[in-house]
Amino acid sequence: MSTRIKNSGSRKLKKVSRALAVMIGAFITAYGLEAILIPNNVSDGGVTGLSIVGSQLFGLPLGILIAILNIPFVFLGYKQIGKSFAIYSIIGIASLAYGTSVMHHIPTIIQGDTLLVTVIGGIIIGFGMGLALRNGGALDGIDMLAVLLSRKLPFGTSDLILFLNLFVFMVVSTVFGLQGAFLSGIAYYIASKVIHMVEEGLSGSKTFKIITNQPELMVETIRDRLGRSATYNLVKGGYSNEHYKEITCIINRLEDSKMKEIIYEIDKSAFVAVYDVAEVRGGNFKKNDIH
């Protein structure tokens, strides 16, 4: 009974911590918008970008537009992804709307330098949105729309996100001009890369598949220098009909250059394929010293 109560308390604490992380991500995003991008006539993409345009055109508070325009997308997320995602997204969007309202008159930290504006602004809003997504919530509804459309149309989700945001930046150009639209696109691109990095974590993993004429030496060297284990798959060449031992090894991205150095040192002609890994669980996968 006590174990059940303890597990229930642990789940509640985890939910609260995730909600707080989503709120912090929303406030970071709001700061990036109000302190960097908007004062320099640079917008964001998605629903937030449309909200910024509406605020500039009609003089309405940005927070109110963000909240209203995201309502149908939150409903879409509830139907397509689930209740938990919808709840965390409501928390995130509400926090973003409130954050832009309370930070509306804060001093601008960068003024005029278009390179710094797009880079720093993109990094800040990307970090905030990535933190929210990593903890189960979303701050913008356009991604949800892209997921739904990809099931109805013969296009991938990333293609549809790009297409929808091209429309958004065309709308942005009517308020901030062509230069503002281009800068908004650059800031959005930087933000998307930061979001990906935050979601994966700085120690994201990679899988190396290696076919070499010295598999035993390769595996032994990887184990000695990286502390990583590896597995063998027996494969057969389609042209030569020769049998090989294909090595599979998962490392974190900080070890990438050292892994390539080991491969090149042992067998310059080795066949190598590298894949990004979204998540690794179980086994003895942990950080090891690099020698």
pLDDT single digits (tens) 219-261: 999 999 988 889 999 998 888 888 889 999 998 777 888 899 9
At 210 the pLDDT is 96
Burial class (CB in 10 A: 0-12, 13-18, 19+), 222: buried
Q: Evaluate if residue 207 carries a pLDDT over 90.
A: yes
Please name which of 287, 273, 282 lies closest in space to residue 204, comparing C-alpha atoms.
287
Backbone φ, ψ for residue 273 (5° rounding): -120, 135
Tell me the C-alpha distance between 208 and 218, whole Å.
Answer: 12
Tell me the C-alpha distance between 15 and 89, whole Å.
Answer: 13
Residue written as tokens 């109805």? 152
At 202 the pLDDT is 55
Runs of H (alpha helix) within the chain: 2-32, 46-58, 62-69, 71-80, 83-102, 114-134, 142-152, 157-200, 215-226, 256-266
Please name which of 196, 40, 26 lies closest in space to residue 119, comparing C-alpha atoms.
40
Phi-psi label, residue 282: left if phi above 0, alpha if psi -120 to 50, beta otherwise: left
At 3 the pLDDT is 60
Q: Which residues pair with 273 in a beta bridge?
A: 209
Burial class (CB in 10 A: 0-12, 13-18, 19+), 164: middle
Q: Evaluate if residue 278 carries a pLDDT over 80.
A: no
* Cβ(222)–Cβ(254) below 8 Å: no
pLDDT classification of 54: cutoffs 50, 70, 90: very high
Burial 92-101 (b: 16+ CB within 10 A, else e): bbbbbbbbbb
At 158 the pLDDT is 57
Angle at 251 between CA 250 and CA 254, to 5 degrees: 160
For the whole model, what pTM was predicted? Answer: 0.74
At 270 the pLDDT is 94
* For residues 136-153, average pLDDT: 77
Residue written as tokens 């926090």? 95
